[in-house]
A and B are shown apart, each in its own frame.
Chain A
Amino acid sequence: MYAEFKHTLRRLRGQIIGWSIGLGVYSWLMVSLFDSIVNIEGFEELMASYPPELLSFFGDSMLAITTPVGYIDIYYFLYMPIIIGIFVVGVGANLLVGDEENGTLDLIMAYPVSRTALFWGRWLGFAAGTAVILFISWLSWVIPAGGVGLDLTWIEFMRPFLPLFAILLLFGGLALLLSFFLPSARMASMLAGGLLVANFLLDGLANANGDLKKITEYLPLHFHQGGDAITELNGEWLIGLLAASLAFAILAWLRFQRRDIRVGGEGSWQFALPWKK
């Protein structure tokens, strides 16, 4: 398992470095702009003058943008599930099926590594890679924060990263699971990414439409606290998200155990459709 864990991290090295630098620079920039933005005269009034539908889409944080919690939520945690979601959905869908499609899995599977070790070695590598990207982002918020009056402790900065990590694992796991059922990794990443974006949009619209809330309260992003976790982390929600992520990973692992390994190329539908004899 360790060989596969190490190999997965090595293969993701370029992406991890790229995403870490990109998000790290962005976070650092946002921190350094904090005191400038909150000190803009009439900024809160400007925000309040936005159409109420727009304000409600972004939740309460829009009106609290001059506070550390509101600022961090609006400029980072609100949409990071979508941004880093691009990474996790792509990596999740290609974690094993990508190698199957390019033909390398056939030979790897002929080595003395069990399917379980191969699967969990790669999944842990993926989880560790995601954690590294978030860790660099966290550092980029924490280190310069004191100098601009963003008075939060490193633990307070850490808290909202936990549900973000869990939600990313969840959608990565979903993409991985879908890749075992859909004809290609490409389709799995498209579907998982589409579901993530749909959930994001529904979640925002539900702030303005009470009827939608009945649906969104069962969807994953409802349990993503974002910047609110800075003041109080909802442990039950976090455990629920982690459990759901693990459930997707376990379902994918069970499917991988029983799966024929293709020689290469994209596959066909894995379902035995009743009307196709």
Chain B
Amino acid sequence: MSNDIALMVKGLTKSYGKVRALQGVNLQVQRGQIFGFLGPNGAGKTTTIRCLLDLIRPDGGMVQVLGINPQADPVTVRAQVGYLPGELSMEDNLKVEGQLRYYSDLRGNKIDWDYVRQLARQLDLDMRRSIKNLSKGNKQKVGVVQALMHRPKLLLMDEPTSGLDPLMQQEVYRLLKEARDDGATVFFSSHIISEVDALADRVAIIRQGVIVEEAEPQQLVSMALRRMQVRFKEAVDPTPLGDVAGVTLLSQSNGVVAYLQVEGEMDGLIKALAAFPVSDFEMERPSLEEIFLKYYKGQEGN
């Protein structure tokens, strides 16, 4: 495995009884990248992350985290990783600082407490409060601090902004980008498309335990379906446009306006339009959300 690769997953499978949670996940994450792992609830995001930390054992496939097999040497992997679980639970009878000191103990007391306090200040987290008195959002802040406090080489975050208000979400995005700028790799799962769009350098979409797409967010957008509205100078029969490869004629209005859906290259459509008296056209680029939903249309059909 190249030194540039932080995470490599090949053919990862995992079943819970009859439920096939992962059906051959393949992923590769470069070092220094923020990688978004997008999928709805139950798609396999959390299962994948938990396999990376040897919290659960895959049925098949290969995993390497920072060049190490987590099943063979989980302690070395975990020493270099910061993890934020999707369902964060902590000991209610401890104060925030006590909880963080326990986590520090587990890391051999090598934590820079000035940095911990700085993180807590940035997230507006009071370390003197009891865990049991914290709101979900404040507990999430403790989770973010514990994941970052040892300046890990790799951050595995399962829905990192869950429960946080928009201001704190922005602060977490900033912290993750700072970590990336300091050389860390960030792998985070989310079902919030705007979050992935705002944060990720690269994104993978998982559906029913299989990666269905992996690309840069902008690349995904450009590869996806676009909708086009063409206005003609006079009434025409736009039916031939629907015969162009990748083009679907959605509707027309008196032969003057045609609504088309285009998938992939535009070349064939542009050439076909040359034969028509075009007065104007508009193209709608889809949002990442629409792309995401496109991948899930098939799932609903199934």
Q: A residues bordering B, Cβ < 8 Å?
A: 3-4, 6-7, 11, 102-104, 106-115, 258, 260-261, 263-264
Contacts and interface: CB of A to CB of B under 8 A. Distances in A.
Given A7-B102, A112-B76, 16 more contacts: A3-B106, A103-B85, A103-B87, A106-B55, A106-B85, A107-B83, A107-B89, A107-B143, A110-B53, A110-B78, A110-B85, A112-B107, A260-B56, A261-B55, A263-B50, A263-B85
B105 A6 contact: yes
A113 B89 contact: no
B74 interface: yes
A112 B56 contact: no
Interface string B7-22: 0000000000000000
Contacts of A106: 50, 55, 85, 87, 89
B91 interface: yes
Interface in B33-72: 46, 50, 53, 55-57
A144 B79 CA distance: 52
B215 interface: no
A261 B81 CA distance: 18
13 contacts: A3-B102, A3-B106, A6-B105, A7-B102, A104-B89, A109-B53, A110-B156, A111-B78, A112-B75, A112-B79, A113-B106, A115-B74, A263-B86
A107 B102 contact: no
A138 to B, nearest CB: 29
B76 to A, nearest CB: 8
Interface of B: 46, 50, 53, 55-57, 74-76, 78-79, 81, 83, 85-91, 102-103, 105-108, 143, 146, 156
B57 A260 contact: yes
Contact of B106 (A112, A260, A263): A112
Given A3-B106, A110-B55, A263 B87 contact: yes
A111 B53 CA distance: 9
Nearest to B84: A107
Nearest to A115: B74
Contacts of B55: 106, 109-110, 260-261
B56 A261 contact: yes
A143 to B, nearest CB: 33
Contacts of A103: 85, 87-89
Contacts of A258: 57
B78 A107 contact: no
A18 to B, nearest CB: 15
Name, among A104, A106, A113, the residue most crowded by chain B CB atoms within 10 Å (CB to CB): A106
B89 A111 contact: no
A109 B88 CA distance: 13
Q: Which has the most chain B C-beta neighbours within 10 Å: A102, A104, A109, A110?
A: A110
Nearest to B82: A110
A263 B21 CA distance: 14
Given A110-B53, A258-B57, A264 B106 contact: no
A113 B75 contact: yes
Contacts of A108: 106
